[in-house]
Amino acid sequence: MSDTGHPIWILLFVIGLIPLATASELVAAVVSKRVRLFIASHPIAHLFWLGLTILSILLLIPARSGLHHPF
């Protein structure tokens, strides 16, 4: 049986989309005055989005799974 439909993979995919959406918005802000004005008119929402992006990046970093010796 394949694990590609397991809910954890779907959750990881959705969490992984958050940094990609933020990166695409930043690229759009560089080239579009309309996007820059939208960000400037909604600063609290975009600060929240940035915090969510940082949290999602931290969640995607793999953690150590046990005791590891330094050598």
> What confidence score (pLDDT) does residue 36 get?
95
> Can you tell me whether residue 45 is helix, strand or coil?
helix
| Whether the predicted model's global pTM rises above the 0.75 cut | no
Is 43 within 8 Å of 16 (Cβ atoms)? no
Mean pLDDT, rounded, for 44-71:
84
Burial class (CB in 10 A: 0-12, 13-18, 19+), 67: exposed
pLDDT tier at 7, thresholds 50, 70, 90: confident
